Chain A
Amino acid sequence: MSQQPKGWKEISIAGVCWKPATDYHTGDWRSFKPVRDPKKCTKCLLCHIVCPDAAIQWNKETQDIEFNYDFCKGCGICANECGAKAIVMVQEGGE
Protein backbone atom coordinates (compact mmCIF):
# COMPACT_ATOMS: atom_id res chain seq x y z
CA MET A 1 0.00 0.00 0.00
CA SER A 2 2.96 2.29 0.49
CA GLN A 3 3.51 4.67 -2.37
CA GLN A 4 6.84 5.24 -4.02
CA PRO A 5 8.43 8.24 -2.26
CA LYS A 6 8.67 11.33 -4.45
CA GLY A 7 11.84 12.52 -6.13
CA TRP A 8 13.51 15.87 -5.50
CA LYS A 9 11.97 17.40 -8.59
CA GLU A 10 8.45 16.56 -7.47
CA ILE A 11 8.47 18.07 -3.99
CA SER A 12 8.43 21.69 -2.86
CA ILE A 13 11.58 23.33 -1.58
CA ALA A 14 12.71 23.59 2.01
CA GLY A 15 10.80 20.62 3.35
CA VAL A 16 7.42 22.30 3.38
CA CYS A 17 5.02 19.62 4.59
CA TRP A 18 2.40 18.44 2.11
CA LYS A 19 0.44 15.80 3.96
CA PRO A 20 -1.88 16.31 6.92
CA ALA A 21 -0.94 14.26 9.97
CA THR A 22 -4.48 12.91 9.88
CA ASP A 23 -3.39 10.80 6.90
CA TYR A 24 -1.23 8.91 9.35
CA HIS A 25 -3.13 6.60 11.64
CA THR A 26 -1.74 6.05 15.10
CA GLY A 27 -4.60 3.82 16.21
CA ASP A 28 -2.66 0.65 15.60
CA TRP A 29 -0.27 1.53 18.44
CA ARG A 30 -3.09 0.75 20.84
CA SER A 31 -3.15 -2.28 23.11
CA PHE A 32 -6.13 -1.13 25.17
CA LYS A 33 -9.25 0.37 23.74
CA PRO A 34 -11.59 2.80 25.50
CA VAL A 35 -15.18 1.67 25.35
CA ARG A 36 -17.90 4.07 26.40
CA ASP A 37 -21.14 3.10 28.03
CA PRO A 38 -23.64 5.55 26.51
CA LYS A 39 -26.04 4.90 29.34
CA LYS A 40 -23.58 6.11 31.95
CA CYS A 41 -22.14 8.91 29.80
CA THR A 42 -23.36 12.38 30.77
CA LYS A 43 -21.84 13.92 27.62
CA CYS A 44 -19.91 16.35 29.78
CA LEU A 45 -17.16 16.24 27.10
CA LEU A 46 -14.30 16.38 29.56
CA CYS A 47 -12.80 13.48 27.59
CA HIS A 48 -12.59 15.75 24.54
CA ILE A 49 -10.29 18.24 26.18
CA VAL A 50 -8.04 15.73 27.99
CA CYS A 51 -7.36 13.48 25.00
CA PRO A 52 -3.77 13.99 23.77
CA ASP A 53 -4.75 12.74 20.33
CA ALA A 54 -7.89 14.70 19.46
CA ALA A 55 -9.51 11.30 19.07
CA ILE A 56 -12.68 12.16 20.96
CA GLN A 57 -14.99 14.53 19.13
CA TRP A 58 -18.53 15.75 19.36
CA ASN A 59 -20.71 14.78 16.46
CA LYS A 60 -23.15 17.60 15.90
CA GLU A 61 -25.50 15.57 13.77
CA THR A 62 -25.89 12.62 16.10
CA GLN A 63 -25.50 14.89 19.11
CA ASP A 64 -23.17 12.33 20.59
CA ILE A 65 -19.55 11.70 21.46
CA GLU A 66 -17.45 9.77 18.95
CA PHE A 67 -14.19 7.97 19.56
CA ASN A 68 -11.94 7.92 16.53
CA TYR A 69 -10.06 4.68 16.76
CA ASP A 70 -7.88 5.62 13.82
CA PHE A 71 -5.99 7.91 16.19
CA CYS A 72 -6.71 6.73 19.74
CA LYS A 73 -3.47 5.32 21.19
CA GLY A 74 -5.24 3.76 24.14
CA CYS A 75 -3.56 5.80 26.86
CA GLY A 76 -6.58 5.51 29.14
CA ILE A 77 -6.70 9.15 30.24
CA CYS A 78 -10.35 9.45 29.21
CA ALA A 79 -11.31 6.44 31.30
CA ASN A 80 -9.32 7.71 34.24
CA GLU A 81 -10.81 11.18 34.07
CA CYS A 82 -14.42 10.30 33.38
CA GLY A 83 -16.44 11.38 36.40
CA ALA A 84 -19.34 9.11 35.48
CA LYS A 85 -17.05 6.10 35.06
CA ALA A 86 -18.61 5.62 31.66
CA ILE A 87 -15.40 4.55 29.91
CA VAL A 88 -13.57 1.29 30.43
CA MET A 89 -10.32 0.15 28.87
CA VAL A 90 -10.62 -3.20 27.10
CA GLN A 91 -7.66 -5.19 25.84
CA GLU A 92 -7.39 -5.15 22.07
CA GLY A 93 -7.89 -8.50 20.41
CA GLY A 94 -10.10 -9.71 23.24
CA GLU A 95 -13.82 -10.09 22.98
Chain B
Amino acid sequence: MAIIEQKTIPLNGDEAVAYAVKQSDVDVVAAYPITPQTIIVERFSEYVANGEVDTEFVCVESEHSALAASLTASLTGARAFTATASAGLALMHEMVYVTAGCRAPVVMAVTNRALSAPINIHCDHSDVMAERDSGWIQLWAENAQEVYDSIIQAFRIAEHPDLMTPVMVNLDGFFLSHTLENVQVLPDNVVRKFVGIRQYPLVSDTQGKKVPFKLDPDFPLTMGPLDLPDYYFEHKRQQEEAMHIAPKIIKQVHDEYAKLSGRSYGNGFVDAYNVDDAEIVTVCLGSTAGTTKTVVDQLRSKGIKAGVLRVRTLRPLPVEDIMRALENKKAVAVLDRSNSVGGQGGPFFHEIRHVLYGAQSHPPIVDYVYGLGGRDMPPALIQNIYKDLEEIAKTGKVKNLVQFAGVRE
Protein backbone atom coordinates (compact mmCIF):
# COMPACT_ATOMS: atom_id res chain seq x y z
CA MET B 1 0.00 0.00 0.00
CA ALA B 2 1.33 3.39 -0.97
CA ILE B 3 1.74 6.10 1.60
CA ILE B 4 -1.22 8.47 1.54
CA GLU B 5 -0.63 12.02 0.50
CA GLN B 6 -1.05 14.26 3.50
CA LYS B 7 -1.27 17.93 4.21
CA THR B 8 0.87 19.66 6.76
CA ILE B 9 -0.82 22.06 9.13
CA PRO B 10 0.41 23.94 12.17
CA LEU B 11 -1.03 22.40 15.33
CA ASN B 12 0.01 22.42 18.94
CA GLY B 13 -0.26 19.16 20.88
CA ASP B 14 -3.71 19.86 22.25
CA GLU B 15 -4.97 20.88 18.83
CA ALA B 16 -3.47 17.73 17.38
CA VAL B 17 -5.58 15.75 19.85
CA ALA B 18 -8.74 17.64 18.95
CA TYR B 19 -8.03 17.26 15.23
CA ALA B 20 -7.47 13.51 15.52
CA VAL B 21 -10.65 13.12 17.56
CA LYS B 22 -12.57 15.14 15.00
CA GLN B 23 -11.47 12.73 12.28
CA SER B 24 -12.09 9.54 14.28
CA ASP B 25 -15.89 9.46 14.09
CA VAL B 26 -16.20 9.82 17.85
CA ASP B 27 -19.78 9.56 19.14
CA VAL B 28 -19.51 11.09 22.57
CA VAL B 29 -16.99 13.48 24.08
CA ALA B 30 -17.57 14.28 27.74
CA ALA B 31 -14.98 16.63 29.16
CA TYR B 32 -14.22 19.37 31.61
CA PRO B 33 -11.60 22.06 31.05
CA ILE B 34 -8.32 22.16 32.95
CA THR B 35 -5.02 23.79 32.07
CA PRO B 36 -3.08 22.69 30.04
CA GLN B 37 -5.68 20.39 28.47
CA THR B 38 -8.11 23.26 27.81
CA ILE B 39 -7.31 23.75 24.16
CA ILE B 40 -8.50 20.23 23.42
CA VAL B 41 -12.02 20.94 24.67
CA GLU B 42 -12.04 24.44 23.21
CA ARG B 43 -11.11 23.29 19.73
CA PHE B 44 -13.47 20.39 19.89
CA SER B 45 -16.29 22.69 21.00
CA GLU B 46 -15.62 24.77 17.91
CA TYR B 47 -15.87 21.70 15.69
CA VAL B 48 -19.22 20.92 17.32
CA ALA B 49 -20.42 24.51 17.04
CA ASN B 50 -19.50 24.62 13.36
CA GLY B 51 -21.10 21.29 12.56
CA GLU B 52 -17.80 19.73 11.59
CA VAL B 53 -18.40 16.64 13.71
CA ASP B 54 -21.38 14.41 14.45
CA THR B 55 -20.59 14.06 18.11
CA GLU B 56 -22.52 14.58 21.32
CA PHE B 57 -20.34 16.92 23.34
CA VAL B 58 -21.26 16.70 27.00
CA CYS B 59 -19.69 19.60 28.81
CA VAL B 60 -19.83 18.14 32.28
CA GLU B 61 -19.48 19.74 35.69
CA SER B 62 -16.37 17.83 36.80
CA GLU B 63 -13.74 15.41 35.63
CA HIS B 64 -15.30 12.72 37.75
CA SER B 65 -18.46 13.03 35.70
CA ALA B 66 -16.43 13.44 32.51
CA LEU B 67 -15.08 9.95 32.82
CA ALA B 68 -18.30 8.51 34.29
CA ALA B 69 -20.26 9.79 31.29
CA SER B 70 -17.59 8.67 28.81
CA LEU B 71 -17.62 5.26 30.44
CA THR B 72 -21.37 4.74 30.25
CA ALA B 73 -21.51 6.21 26.74
CA SER B 74 -18.90 3.64 25.79
CA LEU B 75 -20.86 0.84 27.47
CA THR B 76 -23.94 1.95 25.54
CA GLY B 77 -21.95 1.22 22.40
CA ALA B 78 -20.61 4.65 21.53
CA ARG B 79 -17.04 5.58 20.67
CA ALA B 80 -16.12 7.81 23.59
CA PHE B 81 -13.33 10.23 24.29
CA THR B 82 -12.32 12.49 27.15
CA ALA B 83 -9.28 14.53 28.11
CA THR B 84 -7.87 15.85 31.34
CA ALA B 85 -4.75 16.76 33.31
CA SER B 86 -3.36 16.89 36.81
CA ALA B 87 -6.02 17.56 39.46
CA GLY B 88 -8.63 16.52 36.94
CA LEU B 89 -7.07 13.11 36.54
CA ALA B 90 -6.72 12.86 40.30
CA LEU B 91 -10.42 13.65 40.71
CA MET B 92 -11.17 10.99 38.10
CA HIS B 93 -9.01 8.44 39.86
CA GLU B 94 -11.92 6.34 41.09
CA MET B 95 -13.45 6.26 37.62
CA VAL B 96 -10.11 5.49 35.95
CA TYR B 97 -10.15 2.12 37.67
CA VAL B 98 -13.88 1.64 37.15
CA THR B 99 -13.53 2.30 33.41
CA ALA B 100 -10.82 -0.31 33.05
CA GLY B 101 -12.73 -2.77 35.23
CA CYS B 102 -15.90 -2.25 33.18
CA ARG B 103 -13.79 -2.92 30.07
CA ALA B 104 -15.01 0.28 28.44
CA PRO B 105 -12.73 1.21 25.52
CA VAL B 106 -12.61 4.92 26.30
CA VAL B 107 -9.74 6.94 24.87
CA MET B 108 -8.40 9.74 27.04
CA ALA B 109 -5.76 12.35 26.37
CA VAL B 110 -3.79 13.32 29.44
CA THR B 111 -1.94 16.60 29.11
CA ASN B 112 0.54 15.87 31.84
CA ARG B 113 0.79 18.42 34.62
CA ALA B 114 2.07 18.52 38.19
CA LEU B 115 -0.17 17.75 41.14
CA SER B 116 -0.86 20.23 43.93
CA ALA B 117 0.24 21.38 46.46
CA PRO B 118 1.59 23.91 45.92
CA ILE B 119 -0.61 24.38 42.92
CA ASN B 120 1.31 24.38 39.66
CA ILE B 121 -0.04 24.23 36.14
CA HIS B 122 3.12 23.08 34.39
CA CYS B 123 4.39 19.77 33.14
CA ASP B 124 5.41 16.77 35.09
CA HIS B 125 4.24 13.19 35.16
CA SER B 126 3.04 12.81 38.71
CA ASP B 127 -0.60 12.98 37.60
CA VAL B 128 -0.48 9.95 35.37
CA MET B 129 1.95 7.92 37.46
CA ALA B 130 -0.83 7.69 40.05
CA GLU B 131 -2.84 5.82 37.40
CA ARG B 132 -0.11 3.41 36.37
CA ASP B 133 -1.77 0.38 37.91
CA SER B 134 -5.33 1.20 36.91
CA GLY B 135 -5.55 -1.15 33.95
CA TRP B 136 -5.30 1.42 31.16
CA ILE B 137 -2.98 1.12 28.22
CA GLN B 138 -0.65 4.11 28.26
CA LEU B 139 0.84 5.62 25.14
CA TRP B 140 3.36 8.44 25.50
CA ALA B 141 4.04 10.95 22.74
CA GLU B 142 7.26 12.77 22.00
CA ASN B 143 5.85 15.51 19.79
CA ALA B 144 2.58 16.84 18.38
CA GLN B 145 2.84 14.57 15.35
CA GLU B 146 3.00 11.52 17.54
CA VAL B 147 0.12 12.88 19.62
CA TYR B 148 -2.02 13.04 16.49
CA ASP B 149 -0.99 9.60 15.29
CA SER B 150 -1.37 7.98 18.70
CA ILE B 151 -4.89 9.27 19.29
CA ILE B 152 -6.06 7.70 16.03
CA GLN B 153 -4.32 4.44 16.86
CA ALA B 154 -5.73 4.50 20.39
CA PHE B 155 -9.32 4.01 19.23
CA ARG B 156 -8.38 0.95 17.23
CA ILE B 157 -6.40 -0.49 20.11
CA ALA B 158 -8.93 0.20 22.87
CA GLU B 159 -11.94 -1.06 20.94
CA HIS B 160 -10.36 -4.25 19.65
CA PRO B 161 -12.92 -6.88 20.72
CA ASP B 162 -10.17 -9.06 22.20
CA LEU B 163 -8.84 -6.17 24.23
CA MET B 164 -11.65 -3.86 25.41
CA THR B 165 -9.20 -1.86 27.45
CA PRO B 166 -9.15 1.94 27.73
CA VAL B 167 -6.17 3.85 26.38
CA MET B 168 -4.52 7.02 27.66
CA VAL B 169 -2.42 9.12 25.36
CA ASN B 170 0.02 11.23 27.35
CA LEU B 171 1.43 14.50 26.13
CA ASP B 172 3.63 16.82 28.12
CA GLY B 173 1.80 19.90 29.35
CA PHE B 174 2.88 23.11 27.59
CA PHE B 175 6.01 21.53 26.08
CA LEU B 176 3.68 19.68 23.73
CA SER B 177 0.21 20.98 24.47
CA HIS B 178 1.02 24.61 23.74
CA THR B 179 3.88 24.36 21.29
CA LEU B 180 3.04 24.83 17.65
CA GLU B 181 4.50 22.25 15.31
CA ASN B 182 4.01 21.27 11.71
CA VAL B 183 1.81 18.21 11.82
CA GLN B 184 1.03 15.99 8.87
CA VAL B 185 -2.59 14.97 8.88
CA LEU B 186 -4.29 12.20 6.96
CA PRO B 187 -7.42 12.90 4.92
CA ASP B 188 -10.67 12.60 6.91
CA ASN B 189 -11.95 9.61 4.97
CA VAL B 190 -8.72 7.71 5.48
CA VAL B 191 -8.82 8.16 9.24
CA ARG B 192 -12.50 7.28 9.31
CA LYS B 193 -11.81 4.08 7.46
CA PHE B 194 -8.81 3.29 9.61
CA VAL B 195 -10.74 3.59 12.89
CA GLY B 196 -13.82 1.89 11.42
CA ILE B 197 -17.11 1.36 13.21
CA ARG B 198 -17.07 -0.09 16.71
CA GLN B 199 -17.46 -3.83 16.97
CA TYR B 200 -18.63 -5.50 20.15
CA PRO B 201 -17.32 -8.73 21.67
CA LEU B 202 -19.92 -11.31 22.65
CA VAL B 203 -20.69 -12.10 26.26
CA SER B 204 -23.03 -14.54 28.00
CA ASP B 205 -26.37 -13.29 29.29
CA THR B 206 -28.50 -14.89 32.00
CA GLN B 207 -30.02 -17.29 29.49
CA GLY B 208 -26.61 -18.52 28.36
CA LYS B 209 -27.00 -16.69 25.04
CA LYS B 210 -24.06 -14.88 23.47
CA VAL B 211 -24.99 -11.25 23.00
CA PRO B 212 -23.09 -8.08 22.10
CA PHE B 213 -21.34 -6.41 25.04
CA LYS B 214 -23.33 -3.18 25.29
CA LEU B 215 -26.35 -1.70 27.02
CA ASP B 216 -29.07 -2.64 24.58
CA PRO B 217 -32.78 -3.15 25.35
CA ASP B 218 -32.81 -6.06 22.90
CA PHE B 219 -30.23 -7.95 24.96
CA PRO B 220 -30.52 -6.86 28.58
CA LEU B 221 -27.16 -7.20 30.31
CA THR B 222 -26.19 -6.35 33.86
CA MET B 223 -22.87 -4.52 34.03
CA GLY B 224 -20.86 -3.36 37.00
CA PRO B 225 -22.32 -5.73 39.63
CA LEU B 226 -21.21 -6.38 43.16
CA ASP B 227 -18.32 -8.81 42.81
CA LEU B 228 -17.39 -10.64 45.97
CA PRO B 229 -14.25 -12.63 46.82
CA ASP B 230 -15.58 -15.59 44.82
CA TYR B 231 -15.19 -13.83 41.42
CA TYR B 232 -13.55 -10.40 41.72
CA PHE B 233 -10.07 -11.91 41.42
CA GLU B 234 -11.05 -13.72 38.20
CA HIS B 235 -12.18 -10.45 36.64
CA LYS B 236 -8.92 -8.78 37.59
CA ARG B 237 -7.02 -11.70 36.10
CA GLN B 238 -8.92 -11.14 32.84
CA GLN B 239 -7.67 -7.56 32.74
CA GLU B 240 -4.12 -8.79 33.09
CA GLU B 241 -4.75 -11.17 30.21
CA ALA B 242 -5.88 -8.27 28.03
CA MET B 243 -2.55 -6.59 28.76
CA HIS B 244 -0.77 -9.79 27.72
CA ILE B 245 -2.40 -9.73 24.30
CA ALA B 246 -2.24 -5.94 23.95
CA PRO B 247 1.28 -5.86 22.45
CA LYS B 248 0.13 -7.90 19.47
CA ILE B 249 -2.70 -5.48 18.78
CA ILE B 250 -0.66 -2.33 19.48
CA LYS B 251 1.97 -3.59 17.05
CA GLN B 252 -0.55 -4.51 14.40
CA VAL B 253 -2.24 -1.10 14.60
CA HIS B 254 1.08 0.75 14.73
CA ASP B 255 2.42 -1.08 11.69
CA GLU B 256 -0.76 -0.75 9.69
CA TYR B 257 -0.82 2.96 10.45
CA ALA B 258 2.85 3.24 9.47
CA LYS B 259 2.10 1.79 6.06
CA LEU B 260 -0.65 4.32 5.59
CA SER B 261 1.10 7.41 6.93
CA GLY B 262 4.78 6.60 6.57
CA ARG B 263 5.28 7.29 10.25
CA SER B 264 6.36 4.86 12.90
CA TYR B 265 7.65 5.20 16.43
CA GLY B 266 10.42 2.73 17.07
CA ASN B 267 8.83 -0.69 17.14
CA GLY B 268 5.66 0.81 18.58
CA PHE B 269 6.73 0.17 22.16
CA VAL B 270 10.18 1.68 22.54
CA ASP B 271 11.93 4.21 20.40
CA ALA B 272 15.65 3.48 20.62
CA TYR B 273 17.91 6.27 19.42
CA ASN B 274 21.52 5.24 18.92
CA VAL B 275 21.02 2.57 21.54
CA ASP B 276 22.32 -0.52 19.74
CA ASP B 277 26.02 0.20 20.01
CA ALA B 278 25.76 2.65 22.90
CA GLU B 279 27.68 2.21 26.14
CA ILE B 280 25.76 4.75 28.15
CA VAL B 281 22.02 5.20 27.80
CA THR B 282 19.33 7.35 29.30
CA VAL B 283 15.72 6.18 29.44
CA CYS B 284 12.90 8.67 29.32
CA LEU B 285 9.25 9.37 28.52
CA GLY B 286 7.64 12.05 26.40
CA SER B 287 9.06 15.26 25.02
CA THR B 288 12.35 15.10 26.93
CA ALA B 289 13.44 12.55 24.35
CA GLY B 290 13.67 15.33 21.79
CA THR B 291 16.24 17.33 23.76
CA THR B 292 18.05 14.18 24.76
CA LYS B 293 18.40 13.03 21.15
CA THR B 294 20.06 16.37 20.35
CA VAL B 295 22.49 15.85 23.23
CA VAL B 296 23.17 12.32 22.03
CA ASP B 297 24.02 13.70 18.59
CA GLN B 298 26.49 16.12 20.15
CA LEU B 299 28.08 13.38 22.21
CA ARG B 300 28.29 11.04 19.25
CA SER B 301 30.09 13.75 17.27
CA LYS B 302 32.68 13.68 20.05
CA GLY B 303 32.93 9.93 19.78
CA ILE B 304 31.03 9.18 22.97
CA LYS B 305 28.84 6.14 22.59
CA ALA B 306 25.64 7.58 23.99
CA GLY B 307 22.04 6.62 23.29
CA VAL B 308 18.54 7.31 24.51
CA LEU B 309 15.68 4.89 24.92
CA ARG B 310 12.24 6.43 24.88
CA VAL B 311 9.45 4.25 26.20
CA ARG B 312 6.24 4.74 24.22
CA THR B 313 4.01 2.22 26.00
CA LEU B 314 4.35 2.39 29.74
CA ARG B 315 1.44 -0.03 29.94
CA PRO B 316 1.74 -2.72 28.88
CA LEU B 317 5.38 -2.34 29.90
CA PRO B 318 7.56 -3.63 27.05
CA VAL B 319 9.73 -5.68 29.37
CA GLU B 320 11.61 -7.62 26.70
CA ASP B 321 12.30 -4.56 24.56
CA ILE B 322 13.64 -2.59 27.49
CA MET B 323 15.70 -5.50 28.76
CA ARG B 324 17.28 -6.25 25.35
CA ALA B 325 18.03 -2.57 24.86
CA LEU B 326 19.72 -2.04 28.21
CA GLU B 327 21.18 -5.27 29.52
CA ASN B 328 24.60 -4.97 27.91
CA LYS B 329 25.18 -1.31 28.57
CA LYS B 330 27.90 0.03 30.82
CA ALA B 331 25.66 2.52 32.61
CA VAL B 332 22.01 3.52 32.46
CA ALA B 333 20.23 6.60 33.78
CA VAL B 334 16.47 6.90 34.11
CA LEU B 335 15.01 10.36 33.67
CA ASP B 336 11.99 10.61 35.93
CA ARG B 337 9.62 13.53 35.60
CA SER B 338 7.90 12.54 38.84
CA ASN B 339 8.99 11.34 42.21
CA SER B 340 7.85 8.60 44.50
CA VAL B 341 8.40 10.50 47.70
CA GLY B 342 10.26 8.26 50.11
CA GLY B 343 10.40 5.46 47.56
CA GLN B 344 14.05 5.74 46.48
CA GLY B 345 13.58 7.21 43.04
CA GLY B 346 10.67 7.99 40.81
CA PRO B 347 8.09 5.50 39.60
CA PHE B 348 9.66 5.24 36.15
CA PHE B 349 12.98 4.30 37.75
CA HIS B 350 11.23 1.54 39.66
CA GLU B 351 9.79 0.24 36.40
CA ILE B 352 13.09 0.17 34.52
CA ARG B 353 15.16 -1.14 37.38
CA HIS B 354 12.60 -3.88 37.90
CA VAL B 355 12.92 -4.90 34.25
CA LEU B 356 16.70 -5.14 34.50
CA TYR B 357 16.54 -7.55 37.40
CA GLY B 358 15.52 -10.22 34.91
CA ALA B 359 18.32 -9.39 32.48
CA GLN B 360 21.43 -11.46 31.69
CA SER B 361 23.65 -8.77 33.10
CA HIS B 362 22.83 -5.82 35.25
CA PRO B 363 24.32 -2.51 34.19
CA PRO B 364 24.64 0.09 36.94
CA ILE B 365 21.42 2.11 36.87
CA VAL B 366 20.71 5.49 38.44
CA ASP B 367 17.73 7.81 38.60
CA TYR B 368 17.47 11.52 37.91
CA VAL B 369 14.28 13.11 39.09
CA TYR B 370 13.93 16.23 36.97
CA GLY B 371 11.55 18.83 35.68
CA LEU B 372 8.99 18.80 38.48
CA GLY B 373 6.34 21.48 38.12
CA GLY B 374 7.56 22.40 34.63
CA ARG B 375 11.20 23.03 35.56
CA ASP B 376 13.16 23.15 32.34
CA MET B 377 15.46 20.31 31.33
CA PRO B 378 18.04 22.12 29.18
CA PRO B 379 20.69 20.27 27.16
CA ALA B 380 23.39 21.23 29.69
CA LEU B 381 21.62 19.30 32.42
CA ILE B 382 21.32 16.24 30.20
CA GLN B 383 25.00 16.55 29.24
CA ASN B 384 25.86 16.42 32.95
CA ILE B 385 23.87 13.26 33.32
CA TYR B 386 25.77 11.61 30.47
CA LYS B 387 28.99 12.81 32.11
CA ASP B 388 27.96 11.04 35.30
CA LEU B 389 27.19 7.95 33.25
CA GLU B 390 30.65 8.04 31.66
CA GLU B 391 32.12 8.10 35.15
CA ILE B 392 29.94 5.22 36.30
CA ALA B 393 30.80 3.27 33.14
CA LYS B 394 34.50 3.81 33.81
CA THR B 395 34.50 2.95 37.52
CA GLY B 396 31.52 0.65 37.68
CA LYS B 397 30.60 2.49 40.85
CA VAL B 398 27.40 4.34 41.63
CA LYS B 399 27.85 7.19 44.06
CA ASN B 400 24.28 8.42 44.12
CA LEU B 401 21.46 6.11 43.20
CA VAL B 402 18.91 8.91 43.00
CA GLN B 403 19.62 12.54 42.22
CA PHE B 404 17.51 15.58 41.62
CA ALA B 405 18.54 17.27 38.42
CA GLY B 406 17.94 20.98 38.18
CA VAL B 407 16.85 21.69 41.75
CA ARG B 408 18.59 24.45 43.72
CA GLU B 409 20.26 23.48 46.96
Contact = CB atoms under 8 A, between A and B. Distances in A.
A18 B231 contact: no
Contact of B164 (A8, A14, A15): A14
Contacts of A5: 230-231
B206 A13 contact: no
B204 A13 contact: no
Interface of B: 101-103, 164, 201, 203-206, 208, 213, 221-225, 227, 230-231, 234-235, 237-238, 241
A6 interface: yes
A12 B234 CA distance: 10
Chain A interface mostly helix, strand, loop or mixed?
loop
Interface string A1-16: 0000111100111111
Given A5-B230, A5-B231, A11-B231, A17 B206 contact: yes
A16 B223 CA distance: 5
Nearest to A10: B234
Contacts of A6: 234
A12 B222 CA distance: 12
Contacts of B201: 13
A93 interface: no
B159 to A, nearest CB: 13
Contacts of A15: 101-102, 223-225, 227, 231, 235
A60 interface: no
Contacts of A12: 203-204, 213
A14 B235 contact: yes
A94 interface: no
A16 B204 contact: yes
Contact of A13 (B164, B205, B230): B164
Nearest to A7: B234
B231 A17 contact: no
Contacts of A39: none
B337 to A, nearest CB: 33
B206 A19 contact: yes
Given A7-B234, A8-B237, A18-B206, A13 B103 contact: yes
B225 A17 contact: yes
Nearest first, the 7 closest Cβ-Cβ pairs linking A and B are: A12-B203, A8-B234, A17-B222, A14-B103, A8-B237, A20-B206, A18-B204
A20 B213 CA distance: 17
A18 B208 CA distance: 7
Interface in A16-45: 16-20
Given A5-B230, A14-B223, A16-B205, 16 more contacts: A8-B238, A11-B234, A12-B213, A13-B164, A13-B201, A13-B238, A14-B103, A14-B164, A14-B213, A14-B224, A15-B227, A16-B204, A16-B213, A16-B221, A18-B208, A19-B206
Contacts of B206: 17-20
A19 B222 CA distance: 10
Interface in A32-76: none
A15 B230 CA distance: 12
Nearest to B241: A8
A23 to B, nearest CB: 9
A20 to B, nearest CB: 4
26 contacts: A6-B234, A8-B235, A8-B238, A8-B241, A11-B235, A12-B204, A13-B164, A13-B201, A13-B203, A14-B102, A14-B103, A14-B164, A14-B203, A14-B213, A14-B223, A15-B102, A15-B225, A15-B231, A15-B235, A16-B204, A16-B221, A16-B223, A17-B221, A17-B222, A18-B206, A20-B206
Contacts of B231: 5, 11, 15
A5 to B, nearest CB: 6
Contacts of B234: 6-8, 11
Contacts of A7: 234
Nearest to A20: B206
A41 to B, nearest CB: 33
A57 to B, nearest CB: 19
